[in-house]
Amino acid sequence: MGIQQFRLPDVGEGLVEAEIVSWKVKAGDTVKLNDTIVEIETAKSLVELPVPYAGVVTELLVPEGETVPVGTPIISVQTADTGTAKEDLVPSLPDGEEIEAGKIGGAAPGGRTAVLVGYGPKTTEAKRRPRKGAPTSNAPSEAAPTSHASTGAEAVGAGAVQAGAAASAGFAGAAGGSATGSAGNAAPPSPSPAEVAGGNEAAGVHVLAKPPVRKLAKDLGIDLGQVTATGPGGIITRADVENHTAAPAPVAAPVVGAQGDTRIPIKGVVKVMAQAMVSSAFTAPHVTEWITVDVSATMELVERLKKDKAFRELRVSPLLIVAKAVTLAARRTPIINATWDDANQEIVIKGSVNLGIAAATPRGLIVPNIKSADSLTLPELCGALNDLVATAREGKTQPADQAGGSFTITNVGVFGVDAGTPIINPGESAILAFGAVRKQPWVVDDEIVPRWITTLALSFDHRLIDGEKGSTFLADVASILEDPARALMF
């Protein structure tokens, strides 16, 4: 029998840390290969992790609510394999055979060994110190590395910049909580009512909640006495706190700090978005152009498409026509769908349009993208937009769906906003803000008539897109929205 420790993996695009949201297993449970064992929250999305081996769970090494670096052991599983206990999944090689740098088992930055789940040091001899007051276990157990601080810092690199790209869309954001824990701390046993009980001095209310839930509530500035409990025995769960944040705030909301200031830790989506926006704003010279368009013909087309059998069970909106117009206009001005590669001193014109759509979610602003949107038919593009929005609202957008974008649309019109100056996502060269569509007086054949009007704002990177190219692209998008029949010309 042997003890295997599963390390927190990098689930995509250079992410360096994640929060343990909820465990799906407990000590003593039997797991099969690829069973889902834990849900984690990264800077981009909620992700369910499968276990890479079968056996019996011996220990949960990180409690719920704690944020740990990639490469940190999070769970121990006793397997049926013979041999000494192992802590990672670094493959053994025949003598004399070498692995390419960066591959699993090969060299990593800093002279370490690249392990299966990230650039954490390969450690097999360190022992975990017994938990204070805990009974001694006969099962063998091995410890986490002494420190993983370097793991997260060294893994950032260019990958973190691209991770930031998926979180920036110019106008919106949200704050989240923060919790950083030691990689070696073991998860506490299931708490008794006495362990989860706590008082609320401000309101004089006695509430039941686990420590991670209490910390979440503290980070969000929420009075647990105001939260409705749905857990067994009246315990307040994480979901209860999150649901409470979506509800209207009480009139006499509690304050944090003597001066009434509320402090919200910078982490997750907000942290990555902030880094990305600063990087983009102070790296790419932004130029923004506006155009006001009569989109009455587009609104009529939307109404016709809603009744078309090809769009049955699909939600059709003006954004669909804007998205299609962008992919068509990019054919005439391909530099719009390019990126500035500073490291190689090259301009890279992308072979397809991976169309990002800024989406407001309970976790903050994210930008998932539709891969090869320019190759989709209008019904296919409509379905992809519907799926993208639904997945984002559920908080289930995966990191891969947010990576590799080449052009972004931010639909500020849904908030009643007419226009703005959006910030370009790092790794892209342009972003289009689609403003509110309103009925306004408009001059047609020297007569003032009510028409559907909107404003488009295009921000672009002036290092590779000059005024002529930016203006041509924006005018092409506007012309298609003004008369969708012009799409036949592209």
List residues with catalytic annotation.
462
Terminal CA-CA length for the chain:
65
Contacts of 365 (CB under 8 A, 6+ apart): 167, 168, 169, 171, 172, 173, 174, 269, 273, 358, 359
Single-letter residue type at 278? V
Report the alpha-carbon angle 460-466-472, nearest 5: 80
Cα gap 186→182, rounded to integer Å: 9
Cα gap 348→489, rounded to integer Å: 26
10 Å CB burial of residue 346 (0-12, 13-18, 19+) is: exposed
Cα gap 252→244, rounded to integer Å: 15
Tokens of 11: 């689930």
